[in-house]
Amino acid sequence: MARVLGTSVVLMLVFTTVWATDHSPLQDFCVADLNNQEKIICVDSFDLNELSSRVGEVKWYAHNGEHFKCYGIKCDPSICVPNTRAKYARISLARLDFAPWGVIPPHTHPRATEILTVLEGQIQVGFVTSNPENHHFSKVLNKGDVFVFPVNLVHYQHNVGNTYAVAMVALSSQNPGVIPVGNAIFGSKPDISTDILAKAFQVREDVISNIQTKF
């Protein structure tokens, strides 16, 4: 009985791990645009130039982007890369443009490990390990440096210079997901009860209410 129970537990863990990751592709690639009658795959289908074509436009890009405006950051994602003609599994890509001292606040990607490459400027990066240690790893990266954020851990990026900074990030899932910590806690709809958050953050309820209005 003990052996059967142990085998069952192992199988449950194995299948849980399988379902927690992206499925393995069953073919080399597929055409993403199903409405396209000209379903021809050529070398251009594997070339991504959308994110690199705006080199030199960082100043405009960082200030006029719609995403994360209040943080001084613009994220330009290309979730299924290289493009819509040839669709891939288990990878996504984004370009990050930082205004001076711009920040991507703490967040997680529940389904992907992230790797970041600095193209311009200096960017402070960091992540926090899970309980019980909650150890904070942090480092300032320069142009050409690469950093890895383990899957599902809370992490952030911060431009620590007076100039604009640019980075490229790749994630190990075609749908990595993103959970901004502040938005999830203080901006959820309906709101999380103020008494719960007051106990969690060891502050008064009116402080929590004030923070919630900002999200």
158 is in an annotated binding site: no
DSSP assignment, residue 189? Answer: S
C-beta separation of 167 from 116 below 8 A: yes
Q: Is 63 annotated as a binding residue?
A: no
Q: In this structure, are residues 96 and 71 in contact, taking their beta carbons and an 8 Å threshold?
A: no
Beta bridge partners of 14: none
- 35: DSSP letter: T
67 annotated as a binding-site residue: no
Residue 30 CB coordination number (10 Å): 14
103 vs 124: CA distance, rounded Å:
9
109 labelled ligand-binding:
yes
How many residues comprise the chain? 215
Nearest to 114 by CA among 72, 152, 59: 152
- Sequence ranges of the binding site: 107, 109, 114, 155
- Sequence ranges of the binding site for Mn(2+): 107, 109, 114, 155
- Sequence ranges of the binding site for oxalate: 109, 114
